[in-house]
Amino acid sequence: MNTSKLYVGNLSYKADEQSLADLFRQAGTVNSAKIIVDKISGRSKGFGFVEMSNLDEATKAIQMFNNFSYMERNLVVNEAKPQEKRSFGDRNRRG
């Protein structure tokens, strides 16, 4: 593990960033908590990211909260993968 940024999946749609940060503070210092929302509806997409202050705390958070029942859902917590570059269609396509 080389990052303290964690992916948190299977989040309840009732969860907010404050409650997510509060939960993860049980494992250590939380630098940030972000729930991803749909740009159009503004509703949660059911996943987010938590950044812990160091790798030890991130590892502890994974151990504590992966498959942890939170708001009636079992969380999926693991190391966040780097964001892939998005392509917005093939600009060389002719038609």
- Torsion angles phi and psi, residue 20, rounded to 5: -65, -45
pLDDT in tens, 51-93: 999 999 999 999 999 999 999 999 999 999 887 776 665 555 5
Name the residue ranges covered by the structural domains of the chain: 5-76
According to the model, what pLDDT value does residue 85 have?
Answer: 73
- Would you say the C-alpha torsion 2, 76, 20, 34 has a positive or negative sign? positive
According to the model, what pLDDT value does residue 38 have?
Answer: 95
Helix (H), strand (E), coil (C) string for the chain: CCCCEEEEECCCCCCCHHHHHHHHCCCCCEEEEEEEECCCCCCEEEEEEEEECCHHHHHHHHHHHCCCEECCEECEEEECCCCCCCCCCCCCCCC
CATH superfamily of 5-76: RRM (RNA recognition motif) domain (3.30.70.330)
Residue 9 confidence (pLDDT) above 90:
yes
pLDDT in tens, 19-53: 999 999 999 999 999 999 999 999 999 999 999 99
Label residue 73 exposed, middle or buried (CB < 10 Å: 0-12, 13-18, 19+). middle
Q: How confident is the model at residue 95 (pLDDT cuts 50, 70, 90)?
A: very low
Question: Is residue 78 within 8 Å of residue 69, measured between CB atoms?
Answer: no
